[in-house]
Amino acid sequence: MATGKTGNIEKILEKVRDGELRVEEAKHQLKTFDALGFATIDLHRERRQGFPEIIYGEGKTAEQIVNIVQSLRNNSVTRILATRVSKEKAQIILSKIPELTYNSLAKTLSWKDRQEQTFLYPGYCAVICAGTSDLAVAEEAVVTLESMGCRVERIHDVGVAGLHRLLHHLELIQGATVSVVIAGMEGALPSAVGGLVSHPVIAVPTSVGYGANFGGLSALLSMINSCASGISVVNIDNGFGGGYNAGLIHRMIHQER
């Protein structure tokens, strides 16, 4: 659980006063960012928001990603996530930091300190996708949630063209804290799920579909105009955004309990 900046400063200063922490180490812990020239790494992101800065891999070189990961690890971060990392970049990065895990479907790189618990909270989140073609976006949501310490139940290929497939998993879905629902085409699945559950639903439109799908725009508009209550919508193909929002909700609910 992240604490406020003031509380952290007080604890560090108290340790210095009591001789439990050297001045140089205290200065290192109070450092708020690491300037790499091409990037300025926010070292206090976890203290403010509960999770370290995420690395968006698209547009960055493999060497830049390596340097960012090393900066985070050198500053006591225990969980790291990089999204939109191509297979070619991942191979270069893994040759230099083999401790990372690459998910080729999600195009993510992740890492967790060995002493860090895998799951930080009870319960689970559901990641539900309409079709096999949506799996890459769904898996990005899964990796994001797992990187945040949340347990995930995957429910695949249950689109509205065969609604009985969704109902087969109804008990599992209803038991989740929050559901991330991924769909392309007409984007109807979040409405179907939203009418069956009492928890929040994060809808993720995908660019899957024929020409009139307009690269996911039709699914996005369908989800925004959902008649079911409790549905929030993130951007097209943004599995990370759907997973991250679900992770925040899951964490807040279980921290309160």
Tens-place pLDDT, residues 89-108: 999 999 999 999 999 999 99
Interval 238-257 mean pLDDT: 90
Q: Assess contact for 54 and 240: CB atoms under 8 A.
A: yes
pLDDT on residue 182: 97
Residue 16: the pLDDT is 76
* Each residue's pLDDT tens digit, 144-190: 999 999 999 999 999 998 989 999 999 999 999 999 999 999 899 99
User: Cα separation of 143 and 147, whole Å?
Assistant: 6
pLDDT of residue 4: 40
For residues 57 and 44, give the distance between their C-alpha atoms in angstroms, rounded to a whole number: 20
Angle, CA 120 vertex, CA 132 and CA 21 arms, to 5°? 135
- Closest by CA position to 202, among listed 224, 181, 174, 223: 181
pLDDT at 1: 36
Q: How many residues would you count in the chain?
A: 257
Question: For residues 24 and 99, what is the distance between their CA atoms, to the nearest angstrom?
Answer: 28
The pLDDT, as a whole number, for residue 84 is: 96
pLDDT in the model for residue 89 = 96
Position 72 scores a pLDDT of 87
Q: Which residue has the tokens 């297979």?
A: 87
pLDDT digits (tens, 9 = 90+) for 183-236: 999 899 999 999 999 999 999 999 998 888 899 999 999 999 998 988 999 999
Question: What residues does 201 pair with on adjacent strands?
Answer: 179, 231
For range 3-32, the mean pLDDT: 66
User: Do the Cβ atoms of 219 and 183 come closer than 8 Å?
Assistant: yes
Phi/psi of residue 128, nearest 5 degrees: -120, 125
pLDDT of 24 > 60? The answer is: yes
Inter-residue contact 237 to 206 (CB < 8 Å): yes
Secondary structure letter of residue 188 according to DSSP: -
Res 120: pLDDT: 86
Closest CA to 60 of 86, 97, 24: 86
Q: What are phi and psi of 162, to 5 degrees?
A: -140, 75
Check whether 6 has a pLDDT greater than 50: no
Supply φ then ψ for residue 117, to 5 degrees: -65, 145
Considering only residues 18 and 157, tell me which one the structure prediction assigns the higher pLDDT.
157
Looking at per-residue pLDDT, the higher value among 55 and 52 belongs to 55
pLDDT value, residue 243: 97
pLDDT digits (tens, 9 = 90+) for 69-87: 998 888 778 899 999 999 9
Q: How far is CA 72 from the centre of its chain?
A: 17
